[in-house]
Each structure stands twice: as C-alpha cells, then as structure tokens.
Structure 1
Amino acid sequence: MSRTTTKTASIARKPAQRSRELMSNSKFHELFMDELKDIYWAEKNLVKALPRMQKAATSEDLKDAIGHHLEETKIHVARLEDIFEMMGKKAQAKKCEAMEGLIREAQRGVDDTEEDSMVRDAGIIISAQKVEHYEISAYGSLRTLANVMGHADAAELLEQTLEEEKHADSLLTEIAESTVNDEAAAE
C-alpha cells in the first residue's frame, strides 16, 4: 500500500473510530453537554420573556410572529429534553449569561420607549433578532458537535430547531422592512 493510500485510509477511519462510548467521557462530549445546558436555560427563559415582548408590541404582524415563535420555543425546549435523554442524562439547565443579558436588554428597550409606538416595535425586532442570531450560532455549533460525535439523531433535532430559528429571523426582517421601520421613522 502506498504512503498516500495509507494516509487516506487513516483519515477515512477517524470518524468511525469516534464511537459514542469513547466520546461520552471525552472533554469534547463535556463541551457539547455544557453548551446543551446553556441553550436549554436560554430557551426556558425565552418561554417566559416572549409573552412580555408580544404584549409590548403594537404591530399585529409582530405580535403574531412572536406568538408563533413562543410556541416553537416550547417545542425547542422539548427537543432539547429529548436530546438530553438520548445522551442518557436528565435535562439540566446552566445559566446562560448571554441570553440573560439579551433578555434584560430587550426589557430595557421596551421600558424606555412609548407604548403603542412603532419605534418600540423596531426595538423589539432588533432585540428579537439579537436573540435569534445567538440561537442560530448555538444550534449550528451544537449540530456540528453532535455530527462529529456520531449522534445523528441529536444532530437532526438540532438542525430542525436551527432552521426554525433562521425562519424566525427572516420573518422579523420581513416585518421590519415591510412596515415597522418606515412607520417608526415617520413618528
């Protein structure tokens, strides 16, 4: 066997050598579990925060989008619980400092703007998109880690959530660009 063929065969075997048994006790697996706990906390706290954002919104389109995403977020929590179960662990949250800050910032934005104002709605959209971008990053990274470890079922669930987060972000952009931003600028 040539040196190139041996090297190629060695590279091709590496993913197969990464069995669940070896990965479940690795630092890489610990990183995955730590990030899973982080996003679990984030999602559970979004379930509490989204109704406040929905109530503060003026635009019916924005209220509907937030309400729809609230229902999706509840599903995201359940999916994460399924992934914990797949990993043989009880679902456990670890405080997500980033999400706590994003939620606090969103509430401050609501508190600092007038009720029934499109400026407030523009601020809510900005805050919501910051949250979505954080979640897109988290779910994309978790999906990648799950794939590397051979957790295809977990990766599939994470991919579903990732696509829903991307869709929510796109919808917020559409609402901002179609009505909210122009109306807010005119106030």
Structure 2
Amino acid sequence: MTAKTLNDLFIHSLSDLYSAEKQLTKALPKLARATTNPDLKAAFQTYLEDTNAKIERIDQVVESTDLKLKRVKCLAMEGLVEEGKEQIDEVEKGPVLDMALIGAAQKAAHYEIATYGTLCALAKKLGYGDAVKLLRETLEEVKAADEKLTELSEQEIAEEALEQ
C-alpha cells in the first residue's frame, strides 16, 4: 500500500473494508449452518443481513465522496475467516463449537469496529460529512451485533457448553 495522503489512506482502508465485508457475506452462512443453537443461528443471519447493508453503505460512501475503490484483498479478514473454518472442521458440533463460532464472529466484528472507527475519524478530517454519517451508523450496527453475540455467549451457550 502506498499512501502519501490521508485521502490515500482513507481510500485504501475503505477498499480493504469492502473486501472484508464481502468475505463475511460468504463466511456468515457457514457459521449459521455449523451452529446447533437457534438463537445463535438467528444472530448470524441478522449479522449477514447487516453485512449486506454495510456493503451498500460503503457504496454510498464512495458515491458521496466521488472516490474510486482499489482492488485489494483484506488479508486480516481472510485469516479470521480461515480460523473460523478450522474450528468448524475441528470442533464437534454442539455448544462448545457454538462458543468457538461466537469467538470467530466477534474477532471479525472487532476488526470491523476498529476499521470503521478509523474511517470515521479520517472522513471527518477530510470533510466527508455524508460519509461520516454512514460510517458511524455502520459502526453502531457492528457494536450492537458484537453485544448480541456476547449476550448469547454469557447467557445460554456457555451454560450448555459447561454441561458437556
């Protein structure tokens, strides 16, 4: 990545995040299929719907700023997705796998939270007011998804895993 200006960094970060979100749209259905908990399955499906909305918002950010995304692959998300796949392959279906899947999804969410936070700050400094609004909306959505996953892990799924 060659970024000489804040605008270059903004474009690269947004492009990287676009790739991350696209990868999540493929990974989340696999997580939903692997879980045995109906509430967790529903949470993953909601996260998928939200991720599709995030991609649409990134498109709106691009439109509002009149910028062009670069073709990059988010290697961080690629690694997180691969880690989730390994858990699906290596952990027996049931509450323990469900806890592992929550962890995998939360790692991805935390990556998103960090990146959206940085993008909000960059957009604000660059004077991209519409982009700031869209990015903040998405940031709050990701935080809510993360909180829902924490709630599920702390309430029912951890108890089920302890009983195994």
Please report the TM-score for the alignment, with normalisation by the length of structure 2: 0.95
CA distance in 2, matches of 1:158, 1:31: 15
CA distance in 2, matches of 1:76, 1:142: 13
Match of 2:9? 31
CA distance in 2, matches of 1:92, 1:186: 48
Match of 1:105? 83
Which of structure 1's runs of 4+ aligned residues deviate more than 6 A? Answer: none
How far 1:26 moved relative to its partner? 6.3
Identity %: 42
Match of 2:42? 64
How far 1:63 moved relative to its partner? 0.2
CA distance in 1, matches of 2:65, 2:52: 20
Unpaired runs of at least 5, structure 1: 1-24
Aligned CA RMSD, in angstroms, stands at 1.3
How far 1:87 moved relative to its partner? 2.2
**Residue pair 2:35, 2:98 contacting (<8 A) in 1 also:** yes
Select 1:87's aligned residue among 57, 65, 68.
65
**Residue pair 2:12, 2:70 contacting (<8 A) in 1 also:** no
Unpaired runs of at least 5, structure 2: none
CA distance in 1, matches of 2:9, 2:133: 19
How far 1:100 moved relative to its partner? 0.3
How far 1:65 moved relative to its partner? 0.4
Does 1:126 pair with 2:140?
no
Please report the TM-score for the alignment, with normalisation by the length of structure 1: 0.84
Match of 2:129? 152
